[in-house]
Amino acid sequence: MLHNQLGRCEDQRSENTNVLYLKLLSYLTLPVNFSRRLWQYGQTVLGVIFRHPVPGTSIIPILPDGRIVLIRRSDNGRWALPGGIIDWGEDIPTAVRRELMEETGLELVKLRRLVGVYSAPDRDPRLHSICIVVEADVAGIMKAEDTLEVTEIQAFPLDSLPPGELSHDHKQQLQDYMLGLTTLA
């Protein structure tokens, strides 16, 4: 009888320990779920407040030797064109100059041409944005100023762009560029 009571006590203690572990695990996943949920609420609030797409730019930076500079994004690990959101009170050439410096350390020498305007609501997985893509002559030393967004910078010959999927709709933007198109999409 005593043996049965001790066995039940040990089973109860084991069950209590398992419940404790499960509660602890649920508390540890709370910050991750909270962050995800907070971002979802943030996107919704931004959509309600603005109800307009966010304007941004992508730059096709061309070095003097003809290579194209791409960045590797820290959020998804994919290669991408440098660029970003146009700040309040900023014109497109100023945004191009700023984003180019922040993400590559390169200086804008000359804007060559408009490659296209891309506005599909799903082109950016984070929010609805309109992207103005320009080709630009650049110079300087490649060094990311914004290491939170960029993990790597590399220059590629046109015929040796990195394999695999590019971020956002940048593959389409580069294809349009290489075909000499000016695209409204």
Q: Is 152 a catalytic residue?
A: yes
Active-site choice (10, 15, 145, 152): 152
Q: Quote the CA–CA distance of 149 and 116 in Å, as a whole number.
A: 24
- CA-to-CA dists, residue 53 to 85, 126, 130, angstroms: 11, 11, 6
CB atoms within 10 A of CB 167: 20
Residues 111/95, Cβ–Cβ less than 8 Å: no
Q: Give the C-alpha distances (Å, rounded to integers) separating 89 from 93, 95, 115.
A: 12, 10, 23
| 135 and 177 Cβ atoms separated by less than 8 Å | yes
CB of 155 within 8 A of CB of 67?
yes
Q: 120-155: b or e for each residue (b if 16 or more CB lie within 10 Å)?
A: eeebbeeebbbbbbbbbebeeebebebeebbeebeb
Q: Point out the residues that are catalytic.
A: 152
